[in-house]
Amino acid sequence: MEKKKWKLKPPTTTALLMFMIVLVGLLTYIVPAGQYDRVMDEKTGRELIVADSFSYTEQTPVGIGGILSSVFGGIVGAAEIIAFVFIVGGVFGVVVKSGAINAALAKLIARLKGRESLFIIIAMTAFAIGGATFGMAEETLPFVAIVLAATIAMGYDRIIAVSIVVVGVYAGYSAGPLNPFNVGIAQGIAELPLFSGIGLRTVLMIGGLVIAIHHTLRYAKKVKADPKSGLLFGEAAIETDAIVLVNTEMTSQHKWIMAVLGLSLVALVFGVLKYGWYLGEISALMLLMGIIVGMIAFKGSFNQFTDEFMKGAADMTAAALIIGLSRAILVVMEEGHIIDTLVYAVSVPLGSLHSVFAAWGMYLSQGLINFIIPSSTGQAAVVMPIMSSISDVIGINRQIAVQAFQSGDGYWNMITPTHPVLMAALGIAAVPFGKWLRFAGPLVLKWTIWTMIILAVGVMIDWGPY
């Protein structure tokens, strides 16, 4: 009899997250519980950590009941972004059904025939600018499905679609010369002038974007030349993989729908920049856009609009659950009171380092902390008071501490299974986290080397607040 070869299969994204929930639950029995004192900062309205106030507290291990209920708590805790994903999924289900995007992409692909790499360069640059200026992150999720159809039609795989959108936006977000959600908040806590140090951050952004584009193009060309070389080869196909965009006629109805989409995106940018719109306001705009598109595409049939909306929202169920599971990891850590302990353990050794090595240590520690606290604003509130104090003690400028936080928070999001934007994008594109990690891991390593060079330069020139 022929012996069957036993092959170890990598865990799916869902399996990996469930394993991490159990692992963190076990850590609550091992890692001592602890906490920092916190004070309310009247200027920012945020609760900040008092740097020298850490103390160990009574152990609060999370048992099997807490581990199981953390999934519910994670879904509830991530309710805002899950609701956003469902609404956006429903709206773009309507938009895709209208056929307007297919027709527009077919026309674009025809014009870029033989120059598909130009599409990747332009799109990633546009997303990077959005991330660098008004902190575009969750707002990119509606674009994943659109770009997915385009990349498949161009002969690429689904990883390229996620890279164009998510890697593109974080190439800008992570350096973000004008990003209010990480550098703005961090500089406020560190008592630095808002958006100061913009010159070196712009250099960091340009270099990071070039690295991201090169990494994506290199993989894209390899996949197009030989589809079997792609990381997703052999994976089950999804509906988007079968979309055919060639020779799709662009009708006047399609043009009206594309005009509505264009005006909606302009309104989105204006609202975010001018009025600080977030998920609630953006969801309202998307829903209005979906209704208008549905009325045009389905000739006023509201029933057909709602049917297609429900189908689009249903397609987002897996992505929504993945977001909830990633949040459940943080729920277990919070209940076990080990987040502050882990932050303290990472930050203490930095006090014994000096100069360039201290700056590098800050960056690497932020990358590790990002697995625990993936939120930019939440991480800033926790770590910046500590990092600012450490930078004062070891004699480096606070601007270095801000940039170490910003880059560690941003670049490492690409390999963080607790980050909701990444996990939602992977869910939409049906890309297993393990396969994505093989693509994004080397990219984060390249970004890390580039960041460490910039931080070293910053230390040597005594990168000041201006």
pLDDT per position in the chain (466 positions), as tens? Answer: 445 455 556 666 678 788 889 999 999 999 999 988 888 767 656 666 776 788 999 999 999 999 999 999 989 988 887 888 788 888 888 987 888 877 877 777 778 777 889 999 998 998 998 888 877 787 778 788 878 888 888 889 999 999 999 999 999 999 988 887 788 778 877 878 878 888 999 999 999 999 999 999 999 999 999 989 999 987 765 554 444 444 467 889 999 999 998 898 788 778 866 787 777 888 899 899 999 999 999 988 999 999 999 998 888 787 788 778 878 888 898 899 988 887 788 777 877 777 799 899 999 988 988 887 777 766 776 778 777 777 776 778 889 989 999 999 899 999 998 888 898 899 889 899 999 999 999 999 999 999 999 999 999 998 876 5
Q: Helix (H, G, I), strand (E, B), or coil: what is residue 350? A: helix
Cα 153 from Cα 149, distance rounded (Å): 6
- Cβ partners under 8 Å of residue 125, min gap 6: 168, 209, 213
Residue 292 CA to its chain's centroid (Å): 29
Distance of CA 175 to the CA centre of its chain: 14
pTM of the model: 0.73
* DSSP code of residue 241: G
Per domain, the residue ranges of the chain are 13-22+34-51+63-77+100-247+316-460
Phi, psi of 355 (to 5 degrees): 50, -130
Q: What is the DSSP string of 29-59?
A: HHSPPEE--EEEETTTTEEEE-TT--EE---
CA distance 420 to 323: 5
HSE at residue 176, side-chain half, CA atoms within 13 A, is: 34
